[in-house]
Amino acid sequence: MAQKSGGQKYGRKASEKVEKVMHERKHGTLRSGGSGKKVTSRKQAIAIGLSEARRAGAKVPRKRKGGSKKR
28-71 pLDDT tens trace: 999 988 888 998 999 999 988 988 888 888 888 887 776 666 66
CA nearest neighbour of 62 among 1, 28, 14, 12: 14
Indicate the range of 10-14, 15-19, 33-37, 66-70 predicted with least confidence: 66-70
Distance of CA 18 to the CA centre of its chain: 6
| Helix (H/G/I), strand (E/B), else coil: 38 | strand
Q: How confident is the model at residue 20 (pLDDT cuts 50, 70, 90)?
A: very high
Q: Do residues 13 and 53 lie in contact, with contact meaning Cβ atoms separated by under 8 Å?
A: yes
Whole-number pLDDT of residue 43: 92
Q: Do residues 69 and 17 lie in contact, with contact meaning Cβ atoms separated by under 8 Å?
A: no
